[in-house]
Protein backbone atom coordinates (compact mmCIF):
# COMPACT_ATOMS: atom_id res chain seq x y z
CA UNK A 1 0.00 0.00 0.00
CA UNK A 2 1.39 3.33 -1.01
CA UNK A 3 1.34 6.34 1.24
CA UNK A 4 -1.74 7.93 -0.38
CA UNK A 5 -3.85 4.82 0.18
CA UNK A 6 -2.69 4.50 3.79
CA UNK A 7 -3.63 8.16 4.37
CA UNK A 8 -7.24 7.68 3.25
CA UNK A 9 -7.53 4.34 5.10
CA UNK A 10 -6.62 5.97 8.40
CA UNK A 11 -9.20 8.71 7.79
CA UNK A 12 -11.89 6.07 7.23
CA UNK A 13 -10.94 4.13 10.41
CA UNK A 14 -11.07 7.33 12.45
CA UNK A 15 -14.47 8.22 11.06
CA UNK A 16 -15.77 4.71 11.80
CA UNK A 17 -14.49 4.85 15.38
CA UNK A 18 -16.28 8.16 15.90
CA UNK A 19 -19.49 6.69 14.47
CA UNK A 20 -19.30 3.70 16.88
CA UNK A 21 -18.93 6.05 19.85
CA UNK A 22 -21.68 8.33 18.59
CA UNK A 23 -24.02 5.34 18.23
CA UNK A 24 -24.17 4.95 22.04
CA UNK A 25 -24.59 8.68 22.43
CA UNK A 26 -27.38 8.85 19.83
CA UNK A 27 -29.18 5.93 21.51
CA UNK A 28 -29.31 7.74 24.91
CA UNK A 29 -30.17 11.04 23.21
CA UNK A 30 -33.71 9.86 22.57
CA UNK A 31 -34.35 7.80 25.78
CA UNK A 32 -36.20 9.44 28.72
CA UNK A 33 -34.02 10.94 31.48
CA UNK A 34 -33.34 8.72 34.55
CA UNK A 35 -31.63 11.26 36.76
CA UNK A 36 -33.32 11.53 40.15
CA UNK A 37 -33.53 15.12 41.20
CA UNK A 38 -32.46 14.43 44.76
CA UNK A 39 -33.53 15.74 47.27
CA UNK A 40 -36.64 16.83 45.39
CA UNK A 41 -37.08 13.29 44.17
CA UNK A 42 -35.96 10.00 45.77
CA UNK A 43 -35.48 6.54 44.45
CA UNK A 44 -37.47 3.72 45.99
CA UNK A 45 -35.53 1.75 48.63
CA UNK A 46 -35.32 -2.01 48.07
CA UNK A 47 -37.59 -3.96 50.37
CA UNK A 48 -34.69 -5.61 52.21
CA UNK A 49 -32.54 -2.49 52.32
CA UNK A 50 -30.74 -1.88 55.64
CA UNK A 51 -31.11 1.66 56.85
CA UNK A 52 -31.93 3.23 60.18
CA UNK A 53 -33.40 0.95 62.85
CA UNK A 54 -36.59 1.56 64.72
CA UNK A 55 -37.86 -0.02 67.93
CA UNK A 56 -41.53 -0.27 68.72
CA UNK A 57 -41.36 0.01 72.49
CA UNK A 58 -44.97 -1.07 72.92
CA UNK A 59 -43.87 -4.56 71.94
CA UNK A 60 -40.41 -4.59 73.52
CA UNK A 61 -40.11 -6.96 76.48
CA UNK A 62 -36.55 -5.92 77.37
CA UNK A 63 -35.07 -9.36 76.70
CA UNK A 64 -31.79 -7.90 75.30
CA UNK A 65 -31.58 -10.51 72.54
CA UNK A 66 -30.89 -7.74 70.05
CA UNK A 67 -28.16 -6.24 72.25
CA UNK A 68 -26.43 -9.61 72.58
CA UNK A 69 -26.53 -10.15 68.82
CA UNK A 70 -25.01 -6.78 67.97
CA UNK A 71 -21.37 -7.22 66.91
CA UNK A 72 -20.35 -3.66 67.76
CA UNK A 73 -22.22 -3.27 71.07
CA UNK A 74 -24.10 -0.20 69.96
CA UNK A 75 -27.36 -1.22 71.68
CA UNK A 76 -27.65 -0.41 75.39
CA UNK A 77 -30.62 -1.77 77.30
CA UNK A 78 -31.45 -1.39 81.00
CA UNK A 79 -34.51 -2.91 82.60
CA UNK A 80 -36.26 -2.95 85.97
CA UNK A 81 -38.57 -5.66 87.25
CA UNK A 82 -42.15 -4.64 87.58
CA UNK A 83 -44.01 -5.19 90.85
CA UNK A 84 -46.49 -8.08 91.07
CA UNK A 85 -49.22 -5.49 91.40
CA UNK A 86 -48.25 -3.75 88.14
CA UNK A 87 -49.70 -4.88 84.84
CA UNK A 88 -47.57 -3.86 81.87
CA UNK A 89 -49.87 -5.53 79.38
CA UNK A 90 -48.96 -7.82 76.53
CA UNK A 91 -47.22 -7.36 73.21
CA UNK A 92 -48.98 -7.58 69.86
CA UNK A 93 -47.59 -11.12 69.60
CA UNK A 94 -49.28 -12.05 72.90
CA UNK A 95 -46.26 -12.08 75.21
CA UNK A 96 -46.67 -10.73 78.71
CA UNK A 97 -44.46 -7.78 79.56
CA UNK A 98 -42.76 -8.04 82.94
CA UNK A 99 -39.93 -5.54 82.70
CA UNK A 100 -39.80 -1.80 82.56
CA UNK A 101 -37.34 -0.86 79.82
CA UNK A 102 -35.68 2.08 81.51
CA UNK A 103 -33.06 2.56 78.80
CA UNK A 104 -32.95 1.56 75.14
CA UNK A 105 -30.26 3.40 73.24
CA UNK A 106 -28.84 2.67 69.80
CA UNK A 107 -25.69 4.49 68.82
CA UNK A 108 -25.98 4.92 65.06
CA UNK A 109 -22.50 6.36 64.90
CA UNK A 110 -21.28 2.83 65.66
CA UNK A 111 -23.99 0.87 63.87
CA UNK A 112 -22.75 -0.89 60.74
CA UNK A 113 -26.28 -1.71 59.51
CA UNK A 114 -25.59 -5.40 59.47
CA UNK A 115 -29.15 -6.22 60.54
CA UNK A 116 -28.07 -8.97 62.98
CA UNK A 117 -30.18 -7.48 65.76
CA UNK A 118 -33.43 -7.92 63.85
CA UNK A 119 -33.93 -11.70 63.54
CA UNK A 120 -33.44 -12.62 67.24
CA UNK A 121 -36.18 -10.30 68.47
CA UNK A 122 -39.00 -12.53 69.78
CA UNK A 123 -41.65 -9.87 69.25
CA UNK A 124 -40.31 -8.47 65.95
CA UNK A 125 -40.33 -4.98 67.39
CA UNK A 126 -36.92 -3.91 66.11
CA UNK A 127 -36.65 -3.51 62.37
CA UNK A 128 -35.00 -1.56 59.60
CA UNK A 129 -36.82 1.43 58.14
CA UNK A 130 -36.33 3.22 54.83
CA UNK A 131 -34.82 6.23 56.53
CA UNK A 132 -31.25 6.78 55.42
CA UNK A 133 -30.89 10.53 55.84
CA UNK A 134 -29.97 11.31 59.41
CA UNK A 135 -26.62 13.03 59.19
CA UNK A 136 -25.59 15.07 62.20
CA UNK A 137 -22.87 17.58 62.93
CA UNK A 138 -22.61 16.32 66.51
CA UNK A 139 -21.86 12.64 66.92
CA UNK A 140 -23.78 12.46 70.21
CA UNK A 141 -26.94 13.26 68.28
CA UNK A 142 -26.64 9.86 66.63
CA UNK A 143 -27.44 8.12 69.92
CA UNK A 144 -31.14 7.40 69.66
CA UNK A 145 -33.14 6.88 72.82
CA UNK A 146 -36.18 4.72 72.23
CA UNK A 147 -37.50 4.27 75.77
CA UNK A 148 -40.87 5.77 76.45
CA UNK A 149 -40.09 6.57 80.09
CA UNK A 150 -38.71 9.90 81.15
CA UNK A 151 -35.43 10.00 83.08
CA UNK A 152 -37.30 10.56 86.35
CA UNK A 153 -39.70 7.71 85.70
CA UNK A 154 -36.86 5.39 84.78
CA UNK A 155 -34.98 6.29 87.98
CA UNK A 156 -38.13 5.73 90.04
CA UNK A 157 -38.77 2.32 88.44
CA UNK A 158 -35.17 1.28 89.02
CA UNK A 159 -35.33 2.34 92.66
CA UNK A 160 -38.65 0.58 93.12
CA UNK A 161 -37.26 -2.63 91.63
CA UNK A 162 -34.18 -2.48 93.90
CA UNK A 163 -36.29 -2.05 97.00
CA UNK A 164 -38.57 -4.90 95.97
CA UNK A 165 -35.53 -7.08 95.37
CA UNK A 166 -34.12 -6.23 98.81
CA UNK A 167 -37.45 -6.98 100.43
CA UNK A 168 -37.71 -10.31 98.63
CA UNK A 169 -34.15 -11.21 99.69
CA UNK A 170 -34.96 -10.33 103.33
CA UNK A 171 -38.12 -12.44 103.19
CA UNK A 172 -36.19 -15.33 101.72
CA UNK A 173 -33.52 -15.07 104.42
CA UNK A 174 -36.18 -14.94 107.15
CA UNK A 175 -37.93 -17.98 105.69
CA UNK A 176 -34.64 -19.86 105.54
CA UNK A 177 -33.87 -18.95 109.16
CA UNK A 178 -37.35 -20.05 110.27
CA UNK A 179 -36.97 -23.34 108.41
CA UNK A 180 -33.57 -23.92 110.03
CA UNK A 181 -34.99 -23.15 113.49
CA UNK A 182 -37.91 -25.51 112.90
CA UNK A 183 -35.54 -28.22 111.79
CA UNK A 184 -33.39 -27.74 114.91
CA UNK A 185 -36.49 -27.87 117.13
CA UNK A 186 -37.62 -31.10 115.49
CA UNK A 187 -34.18 -32.61 115.97
CA UNK A 188 -34.18 -31.62 119.66
CA UNK A 189 -37.67 -33.09 120.10
CA UNK A 190 -36.58 -36.34 118.49
CA UNK A 191 -33.60 -36.57 120.85
CA UNK A 192 -35.84 -35.87 123.91
CA UNK A 193 -38.38 -38.55 122.92
CA UNK A 194 -35.74 -41.27 122.51
CA UNK A 195 -35.92 -43.77 125.55
CA UNK A 196 -32.77 -43.80 127.74
CA UNK A 197 -30.39 -46.71 127.35
CA UNK A 198 -30.46 -49.36 130.21
CA UNK A 199 -27.95 -48.54 133.01
CA UNK A 200 -25.08 -50.96 133.57
CA UNK A 201 -25.36 -52.55 137.11
CA UNK A 202 -22.17 -52.47 139.15
CA UNK A 203 -20.83 -55.92 140.10
CA UNK A 204 -21.48 -57.17 143.78
CA UNK A 205 -18.44 -57.49 146.13
CA UNK A 206 -18.89 -61.25 146.21
CA UNK A 207 -19.06 -61.48 142.49
CA UNK A 208 -16.08 -59.17 142.31
CA UNK A 209 -14.17 -61.43 144.69
CA UNK A 210 -15.19 -64.45 142.69
CA UNK A 211 -14.20 -62.77 139.57
CA UNK A 212 -10.84 -61.91 141.19
CA UNK A 213 -10.28 -65.49 142.40
CA UNK A 214 -11.45 -66.76 139.05
CA UNK A 215 -7.94 -67.12 137.63
CA UNK A 216 -6.99 -69.33 140.68
CA UNK A 217 -10.02 -71.44 139.95
CA UNK A 218 -9.05 -71.83 136.46
CA UNK A 219 -5.68 -73.26 137.42
CA UNK A 220 -5.31 -76.98 137.33
CA UNK A 221 -7.46 -78.64 140.04
CA UNK A 222 -5.46 -79.93 142.92
CA UNK A 223 -2.58 -77.63 142.24
CA UNK A 224 -2.78 -76.28 145.82
CA UNK A 225 -2.94 -79.79 147.19
CA UNK A 226 0.00 -80.59 145.05
CA UNK A 227 1.87 -77.74 146.58
CA UNK A 228 0.87 -78.93 150.06
CA UNK A 229 1.97 -82.37 149.17
CA UNK A 230 5.17 -81.08 147.82
CA UNK A 231 5.77 -79.29 151.16
CA UNK A 232 5.16 -82.54 152.99
CA UNK A 233 7.33 -84.45 150.65
CA UNK A 234 10.09 -81.92 151.16
CA UNK A 235 9.77 -82.38 154.93
CA UNK A 236 9.89 -86.09 154.38
CA UNK A 237 12.95 -85.74 152.21
CA UNK A 238 14.64 -83.58 154.89
CA UNK A 239 13.84 -86.15 157.56
CA UNK A 240 15.07 -88.81 155.19
CA UNK A 241 18.37 -86.96 154.85
CA UNK A 242 18.58 -86.42 158.61
CA UNK A 243 17.85 -90.05 159.46
CA UNK A 244 20.98 -91.51 157.84
CA UNK A 245 23.02 -88.83 159.66
CA UNK A 246 21.54 -89.87 162.98
CA UNK A 247 22.18 -93.46 162.08
CA UNK A 248 25.82 -92.63 161.38
CA UNK A 249 26.16 -90.86 164.75
CA UNK A 250 24.55 -93.81 166.54
CA UNK A 251 26.93 -96.18 164.72
CA UNK A 252 29.96 -94.14 165.90
CA UNK A 253 28.69 -94.12 169.46
CA UNK A 254 28.30 -97.92 169.37
CA UNK A 255 31.88 -98.27 168.10
CA UNK A 256 33.21 -96.02 170.96
CA UNK A 257 31.35 -97.98 173.62
CA UNK A 258 32.74 -101.20 172.22
CA UNK A 259 36.27 -99.85 172.39
S1 LIG B 1 -27.70 -3.26 62.58
FE2 LIG B 1 -25.92 -4.46 63.32
S3 LIG B 1 -24.55 -2.91 64.17
FE4 LIG B 1 -26.56 -1.91 63.91
S5 LIG B 1 -27.57 -2.18 65.91
FE6 LIG B 1 -28.20 -3.91 64.65
S7 LIG B 1 -26.69 -5.52 65.12
FE8 LIG B 1 -25.82 -3.62 65.87
S1 LIG C 1 -34.89 -8.31 71.10
FE2 LIG C 1 -36.77 -7.17 70.70
S3 LIG C 1 -37.98 -7.46 72.58
FE4 LIG C 1 -35.90 -8.02 73.08
S5 LIG C 1 -34.98 -6.14 73.89
FE6 LIG C 1 -34.50 -6.19 71.69
S7 LIG C 1 -36.13 -5.02 70.74
FE8 LIG C 1 -36.84 -5.52 72.77
Provide the pLDDT confidence category of residue 32 given band limits of 50, 70 and 90. Answer: confident
pLDDT attached to residue 233: 45
Q: Is the CB of 77 under 6 A from ligand 2?
A: yes
Give me ligand 2 centre to Cα 190, in Å: 55
The ligand minimizing its distance to the Cα of 61 is 2
CATH code assigned at 57: 3.30.70.3270
Residue 37 lies in a domain: no
Distance between CA 86 and CA 164 in Å, rounded?
12
What is the tens place of the pLDDT at every residue in 145-177?
999 999 999 999 999 999 999 999 999 999 999
Provide the pLDDT confidence category of residue 110 given band limits of 50, 70 and 90. Answer: very high
* First-to-final CA distance of the chain: 202
Give me ligand 1 centre to Cα 99, in Å: 23
Mean pLDDT of 210-239: 46
Q: Is the CB of 65 under 6 A from ligand 2?
A: yes
Q: Which domain holds residue 138?
A: 53-157
Residue 113 lies in a domain: yes
**Is there a contact between 77 and 107 (Cβ–Cβ < 8 Å)?**
no
Residue 115 lies in a domain: yes
Distance between CA 230 and CA 237 in Å, rounded?
10
Residue 252 lies in a domain: no
Give the full edge-to-edge strand order of the sheet including 75-81: 75-81, 99-107, 143-145
Residue 233 lies in a domain: no
pLDDT attached to residue 225: 44
Residue 86 lies in a domain: yes
pLDDT attached to residue 194: 80
Give percent of the chain with pLDDT exceeding 90: 61
pLDDT attached to residue 141: 96
Query: Closest Cα to atom 4, ligand 1: which residue?
Result: 111
Kindly tell me if the per-residue pLDDT of 202 is higher than 80. Answer: no
pLDDT attached to residue 200: 64
Residue 218 lies in a domain: no
Provide the pLDDT confidence category of residue 29 given band limits of 50, 70 and 90. Answer: confident
Residue 31 lies in a domain: no
pTM of the predicted protein model: 0.62
What is the tens place of the pLDDT at every residue in 43-99?
888 888 899 999 999 999 999 999 999 999 999 999 999 998 999 999 999 999 999
Q: Give the number of domains in the chain.
A: 1
Query: Closest Cα to atom 7, ligand 1: which residue?
Result: 70
φ and ψ of 24, to 5 deg: -65, -40
Length of the chain, in residues: 259
Amino acid sequence: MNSVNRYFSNIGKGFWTVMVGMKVTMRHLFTPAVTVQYPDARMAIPERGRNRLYVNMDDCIGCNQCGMACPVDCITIETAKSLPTEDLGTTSTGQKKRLWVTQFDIDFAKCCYCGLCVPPCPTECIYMTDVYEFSEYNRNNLIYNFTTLTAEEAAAKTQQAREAEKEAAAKKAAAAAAAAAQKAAQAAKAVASTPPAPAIQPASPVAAANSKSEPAKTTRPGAQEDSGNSAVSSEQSVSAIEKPAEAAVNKDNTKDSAN
